[in-house]
A and B are shown apart, each in its own frame.
Chain A
Amino acid sequence: MPSKNVVFLINEFNNHGGAQRVASILTEEFMADGHHVAVLSINEQKNVPSYFSEDVPVKVLHRKYRAPQPIEISSNLKDFKFLKVQKELKRRYLLKKKRDEVEAFFKAYGNEEVYVIAIQVYAMQWIRPLLYKPNIKIIGQSHESVAAAKGSKRYKRILIHYRQVSKFLLLTQKDAEHFQEMGFTNTGVMYNPAPFRKLNLPENLYKNKKIVSSGRLVEDKGFDLLIEAFAKVADELPGWTVHIYGDGPAEKPLKNLIRILGMEQRIFLEGQTEDIQAALEAGSFFVLSSKAEGLPMSLIEAQSCGLPCISSDCAPGIREILEEYHNGFITPVGDTAILSRHIKRLAQNPDLFYTFSNNAYSSSAKFDRKVIKNKWYELFEELGGERDGR
């Protein structure tokens, strides 16, 4: 395959979200195959390292400025809100200016084909004019479920900006079907790649007697439910401990909860880890008790190390990763009673655990980074072959 030009379009390239993680993995794979990858980032965080390697050229549009929501000028003028108007005028001026910069950025590619992967919809406003450049193929992504997007401005933005992109990629078939019903004709499904995949002996994993969970410590991730559920059955599971990786604003209330339940010796907030793979391989099974997700990377990673998973049914993506009673368990969101029972079941039945562990590892094959990389190449071929009908 001749080398391709790929540009990732990201809100903040050095943020540590799942989407950036995915982009960095793909970047590594694409570059290893000799393709040219660049990152176009709207904003950046100050002095924070990114997932991307030093070799990736990164263009940041706004070093400091953060574009606010657009507002109507006339009504604010009438209300004498001049500061707001001034802010809006600045936004419009900068948008135009930065659009020109973006155009210049892409001019450098001449007539060569460029695949622009917009990992978040927010950034689309800066590259809208590129829709009409025949050599530029824009691939829009939404890294969350429809339900999660609907709770924010992103859903409306998707309806506005992703109608005309070459491809609109969702994480799950169900999400794609939703947008097909909304009249989208360009939808597709692309799984996130697992950053690593390693077979661990189920017996070894089981011996660790550790329940692992990870994610930002925020209300939405529902770690309190895991703590409650485990505390309820802790006495019946001697030797088993819970390890939660990640940091965030909910750390203090979670610590309190652990203390109140007298679980200081059983449940540990481990903080952010640089090496999640090691953390998983030191564990036995993984629990996700989140309230909203897309296609959670943490589940994919856990499966890729052979860990059975218990997850709340918080997004259509869960059922595309987990198969109930085959490689894990699924609980209704917020139901600690059934979460406790499933934890007990996995912890107390080594045979069941071994079976689930083996199944988990083989199920994770579809998220293997090589497999996903090739899916992307197929997509590039599909889009590259298309010519606009003029």
Chain B
Amino acid sequence: MAAEIQTNRRAKLSVVVIAFNNELYIEEALESLHEQTFDDFEVVVVNDYSSDRTGELIDRFIIDKPKFKAVHLPENSGGCSTPRNTGVAHTTGEFIMFLDGDDWYTIDACEKMVEAIERTGSDFVAGQVIRTNNYEIWYRNQIYSKERINFNIREFTYMLFDSLSVNKIYKRAFLDQHGLRFPEGIHYEDVVFTGNAYFLAESISVIPEPVYYWRVVENAEAKSITNRRHEFENFENRIIAHRYFDQSLRANGAVLYQKEKNNKFLRHDLKLYTNDYLQYDDDYKTRFHHLIYEYLHEVMDEYSFIGLAERDRILYYLLYIGDIEALEDYINYINGLPTKKNRVYNIGSQYYFEPSISAKNQEKFLRMEKPEIDFAITDMGLTLDSFKFQSEIQVNSIAEEEFDSYWVLRNRQTGEILTAVASSEGKAVFELQNMVSGNYYLSLYVKHKGNLHRLLAKNSNISKLPNIELKDHHLSKSIFINEKNSFAIRVSPLKMIDQLRWKVERRRLAKKQQRTPAAAQPSSTRKALERFIPKLPIKSNWVLFESHMGKQYSDSPKYIYEQLLKSGLNFKFIWSFQQPDQVGLPGSAIKVERNSLRHFYYLNRAKYWVDNQGIAHLAKKKEDQVYVQTWHGTPLKKMGYDQKKMPTKSELAKLKIQTEAWDYLISPNRYTTEILRRGFRYGGEILETGYPRNDLLVHQPESVKQNTRQYFGLSNEKHVILYAPTFRDWDPNSFQKVLDDVQRMSKEINRNSVILMRLHYLLSEKISQLELPANIINASTYQDIQELYLLSDLLITDYSSVMFDYALLKRPIVLYCYDLDEYITRRGMYFNFTELAPGPLCQTMDEVMYYINQPDALRKFEGDLEKFGARFNSLEDGQASMKVVEQIFKS
């Protein structure tokens, strides 16, 4: 009787279960259906000619269960399509769902899915899948995080990443209308079926509810059909499925979405196969290359890879151009295996992987962030005075003679640096006599063609880490691994009092390191004072000085200050410095820390501001205050509004705050006057007096020269070469270039010469961590560069304004402009440098060395130097400071 009713009434939902040799799990699958919280459904179980007990178990299960029906196929179909289509043919429900014989539904899966499809009216609805190896939801974050109702696939193409058919409920009418069934005779039927469904459906919905358990059996001996990636047919089948999908894209008029489909293919499907590449045999590889080459060229071009992660981009590009040799090398490369050919090369700081077949624009696709560098440390030994180890460094796919490396221990608290030397047996050896408290972390520096790569040593790089602790009278030195697995030698004081002291010191150092972000929050007292201070009256005899944002006591402000000291006028002087206690200066000036509350106080009360860069943003200048802007050099590169790359609005706004505050701008010559006016859009008064700082170079006092020589410990006989390159902020590896050049000069200059280096502070900081040859002196932190000019016999520079001042001395200048074209392209110059240069323009170090060692050859450029001086320095008469004081401070 019951059976009769069943056949007369059409069930709302039909579930098609397919089973092939699932004897362990089939009952579970069927039970999960039998116990559903939903009632109005029928089940057809299609047994695909199982050879185990699956069929028998199905039959036993459906006895007395009128909702369940079994269909036993007479022969094995070899896939999922035929059983599923058969199932669909044997059912009549308004909605259809699918279940595989080794998976199961959550208890309320049917109820939720039917509810969702009735509520939304979508053509189909998708629910969450739980994989049982980790119980994570398949594509949870990208797709299944929230309910999405009635979208079209074209609005949300990420949905393509879920190509499963089983976690969905379909309207039968939708399937029938389009004749949508599973393609028989192929595997990866889901790719085709689901792909078609996506583009045929008017509307799709997603519910953030778990409905389907996907049983993942790890280490299973018999892998399921779709898991046997090692058989080539498997790959072939996947491509066949994708070709069907591509075809239907075209047929459905959705060819515009090929790109999104390709994206999923590359990120998901192809990745599975390239990951396993090393395990394939030769035959597999040959066929794989052939097929993938063909397929990639069918549906995409190389620009499909451009947005992918580096490894995928390079891999797929090499597959795309059919460069098997390079591909195999690349796969070896990323797996840390040797490559047949050295393929990693650089252009400047950019690295590339070299293909065997060259193609247009290849470098776009073969870019690499950095070369793979690996190292291993063995035989580590620590004594009180030394730390040694053996190391093996491997820079994969780069010729050994191209790179060079050295080891450094850096104290993270104090910043102190120790560099290793190589012992006779090839070990790296650190001398440890002069260690102070702190953790010394070990790094490997690898130099490669102007690039410097730093790698922190980790516990995992070290074999047999010894736990050693040694103590002398004051300190303990021990091997230490921090929580992030980095290796260090930990030095800590032994005595209680030293430990306390170190704790305090450590705190101070740590605070200093994080000062910049922490200083952002001013206290409430400070805020109140900052409101109050500007209301105080101006002191007409207070003068505030600053040079180079408080970094130095130098430049024109220094010489104006000293002139004012000499004048005997009744002034009170204030100098602001970043580190006031590090700077000594003559006279009774008050030193304040830049940007401190005291600085703010003096900025508000001093009548005069004398500065060479910018302080107007630190306090609002009042009407009665006088801002003397001395500027810091004759311009060579374009600046302000003239810059090659027009500055942004906010940059210009900042510039405006400064220039509008200026009352006097000091200019060394007519040329500069015009440029500053134009470049800064400055309309105020300009004093064309020459540079106060250059008075020194006109008078050339012997005492200053002697003092400076003494400071550097240079006898009068020494021939001094000043090397002052500009900072190339666009090139992260300019440091290495400078280092290499300096080392070369050090070797090739004559014995009576020394090189004084004047570098940008960022470079200087780096270079001060290294040990330099005896004939190289880092003078970068010396306060006043004018004094260095005075002492030196020859200048090597490039695009720096130092050449204008230096030309006053009428001593030779060598211009080392190896990147002149690049510099002009990037920065632009105000005049034709090649024509007007005050000395020889060298492209290479060879040329530079030639001129250094051949004073006679330099003599040829005396005319150029003369001309240069006449053009730019005609106003410099040694009276500039006096003129400034007369015009501003005495009126």
A-side residues, CB < 8 A to B, are: 74, 131-132, 156, 159-160, 163-164, 182-185, 313, 325, 332-333, 335, 337-338, 341, 345, 386, 388-390
Question: Which residue of the partner chain, among A156, A159, A337, A386, contacts B32 with CB atoms under 8 Å?
Answer: A337
Q: How far is the CB of B160 from chain A (nearest CB, A)?
A: 28
Residues on B with C-beta less than 8 A from A156 are 483
Question: Which residue of the partner chain, among B380, B382, B383, B481, contacts A163 with CB atoms under 8 Å?
Answer: B481
A389 to B467, CA, bound (A): 8
Q: How far is the CB of B26 from chain A (nearest CB, A)?
A: 12
The 6 A-B residue pairs with the shortest CB-CB distance in the complex, in nearest-first order: A132-B469, A183-B485, A163-B481, A337-B107, A159-B483, A388-B466
Question: Which residue of the partner chain, among B130, B466, B468, B469, contacts A332 with CB atoms under 8 Å?
Answer: B130
> Does A185 contact B32, Cβ atoms closer than 8 Å?
no
> Does A183 contact B104, Cβ atoms closer than 8 Å?
no
> Does B460 contact A389, Cβ atoms closer than 8 Å?
no
> Does A388 contact B468, Cβ atoms closer than 8 Å?
yes
Residues on A with C-beta less than 8 A from B130 are 332
Q: A74-B507, A164-B481 are in contact. Are A132 and B468 (CB under 8 A)?
A: yes
A198 to B1, CA, bound (A): 54
Residues on A with C-beta less than 8 A from B483 are 156, 159-160, 163
> Does B468 contact A390, Cβ atoms closer than 8 Å?
yes
Chain B, 357-382, contact with A by CB distance < 8 Å: what is the 0/1 string?
Answer: 00000000000000000000001111
> Does A390 contact B32, Cβ atoms closer than 8 Å?
no
Question: Which residue of the partner chain, among B35, B132, B459, B480, contacts A183 with CB atoms under 8 Å?
Answer: B459
> Does B132 contact A332, Cβ atoms closer than 8 Å?
yes
Question: Which residue of the partner chain, among B31, B466, B480, B482, contacts A390 with CB atoms under 8 Å?
Answer: B466
A388 to B379, CA, bound (A): 10
> Does B478 contact A333, Cβ atoms closer than 8 Å?
no
Question: Does B464 count as interface, using CB distance less than 8 angstroms?
Answer: yes
Question: Does B10 count as interface, using CB distance less than 8 angstroms?
Answer: no
Residues on A with C-beta less than 8 A from B382 are 390
A54 to B213, CA, bound (A): 52
A156 to B483, CA, bound (A): 8
> Does A338 contact B466, Cβ atoms closer than 8 Å?
no
Q: List 18 A-B contacts (CB under 8 A).
A: A131-B469, A132-B467, A163-B485, A164-B465, A164-B480, A164-B481, A182-B485, A185-B459, A185-B462, A185-B465, A313-B135, A333-B135, A335-B106, A337-B32, A338-B104, A389-B464, A390-B383, A390-B466
Question: Does B432 count as interface, using CB distance less than 8 angstroms?
Answer: no
| CB within 8 Å of A: which B251-299 residues | none
| CB within 8 Å of A: which B502-536 residues | 507
A182 to B460, CA, bound (A): 9
Q: How far is the CB of A380 from chain B (nearest CB, A)?
A: 18
Question: Does B28 count as interface, using CB distance less than 8 angstroms?
Answer: yes
A209 to B563, CA, bound (A): 107
> Does B379 contact A389, Cβ atoms closer than 8 Å?
yes
Interface bin, chain B: 35 or more
Question: Does B24 count as interface, using CB distance less than 8 angstroms?
Answer: yes
| CB within 8 Å of A: which B99-135 residues | 104, 106-107, 130, 132, 135
Closest to B35 in A: A337
Residues on A with C-beta less than 8 A from B548 are none
A184 to B467, CA, bound (A): 15
A183 to B481, CA, bound (A): 11
A340 to B484, CA, bound (A): 45
Name 15 extra pairs, CB < 8 A, besides A183-B458, A185-B462, A337-B107: A74-B507, A159-B484, A163-B481, A163-B482, A332-B130, A332-B135, A337-B106, A338-B28, A341-B35, A386-B464, A388-B467, A389-B379, A389-B380, A389-B466, A390-B383
- Chain A: interface secondary structure? loop
Closest to A165 in B: B467
A325 to B107, CA, bound (A): 21
Q: How far is the CB of B490 from chain A (nearest CB, A)?
A: 11
Residues on B with C-beta less than 8 A from A131 are 467, 469
Interface centre among B382, B459, B462 (most CB of A within 10 A): B459
- Chain B: interface secondary structure? mixed
Question: Which residue of the partner chain, among A160, A325, A332, A341, contacts B213 with CB atoms under 8 Å?
Answer: A332
Q: How far is the CB of A386 from chain B (nearest CB, A)?
A: 8
Closest to B215 in A: A324
Q: How far is the CB of B412 from chain A (nearest CB, A)?
A: 16
Residues on A with C-beta less than 8 A from B479 are 164
Residues on B with C-beta less than 8 A from A159 are 483-484
| CB within 8 Å of A: which B588-638 residues | none
Residues on B with C-beta less than 8 A from A338 are 28, 32, 104
Residues on A with C-beta less than 8 A from B465 are 164, 185
> Does B28 contact A341, Cβ atoms closer than 8 Å?
yes
Residues on A with C-beta less than 8 A from B484 are 159
Q: A337-B107, A338-B104 are in contact. Are A390 and B381 (CB under 8 A)?
A: yes
A325 to B217, CA, bound (A): 12
Residues on B with C-beta less than 8 A from A160 are 483
Residues on B with C-beta less than 8 A from A132 are 467-469, 478
Q: How far is the CB of A356 from chain B (nearest CB, A)?
A: 13
A184 to B481, CA, bound (A): 10
Residues on A with C-beta less than 8 A from B481 are 163-164
> Does A389 contact B381, Cβ atoms closer than 8 Å?
yes
A286 to B672, CA, bound (A): 92
Question: Which residue of the partner chain, among A184, A313, A388, contacts B132 with CB atoms under 8 Å?
Answer: A313
A341 to B105, CA, bound (A): 13
Residues on B with C-beta less than 8 A from A345 are 27
Residues on A with C-beta less than 8 A from B467 are 131-132, 164, 388
A37 to B431, CA, bound (A): 43
Q: How far is the CB of A332 from chain B (nearest CB, A)?
A: 6
> Does B460 contact A185, Cβ atoms closer than 8 Å?
yes
A386 to B466, CA, bound (A): 10
Q: How far is the CB of B523 from chain A (nearest CB, A)?
A: 12
Residues on A with C-beta less than 8 A from B460 are 183, 185
Residues on A with C-beta less than 8 A from B104 are 338
Residues on A with C-beta less than 8 A from B459 are 163, 183-185
Residues on B with C-beta less than 8 A from A164 are 465, 467, 479-481
Residues on B with C-beta less than 8 A from A389 are 379-381, 464, 466
| CB within 8 Å of A: which B427-467 residues | 458-460, 462, 464-467
A329 to B605, CA, bound (A): 83
Q: How far is the CB of B693 from chain A (nearest CB, A)?
A: 45
A345 to B25, CA, bound (A): 12
A341 to B31, CA, bound (A): 8
Closest to A157 in B: B483
Closest to A132 in B: B469
Q: How far is the CB of A240 from chain B (nearest CB, A)?
A: 18
Q: How far is the CB of B465 from chain A (nearest CB, A)?
A: 7
Residues on A with C-beta less than 8 A from B213 are 332
A313 to B135, CA, bound (A): 9
Q: How far is the CB of B504 from chain A (nearest CB, A)?
A: 10
Closest to A160 in B: B483
Closest to A136 in B: B467
Interface centre among B27, B28, B213, B458 (most CB of A within 10 A): B28
A72 to B752, CA, bound (A): 57
Q: How far is the CB of B213 from chain A (nearest CB, A)?
A: 7
Residues on B with C-beta less than 8 A from A183 are 458-460, 485
Closest to A232 in B: B35
Residues on A with C-beta less than 8 A from B381 are 389-390
A325 to B28, CA, bound (A): 11
Residues on B with C-beta less than 8 A from A325 are 24
A164 to B459, CA, bound (A): 9
Residues on A with C-beta less than 8 A from B135 are 313, 332-333
Closest to B378 in A: A389
Closest to A388 in B: B466
Closest to B468 in A: A390
Q: How far is the CB of A367 from chain B (nearest CB, A)?
A: 20
A163 to B460, CA, bound (A): 10
Closest to A163 in B: B481
Q: How far is the CB of A210 from chain B (nearest CB, A)?
A: 24
A108 to B31, CA, bound (A): 65
Residues on B with C-beta less than 8 A from A313 are 132, 135
Closest to A183 in B: B485
Residues on B with C-beta less than 8 A from A184 are 459, 485
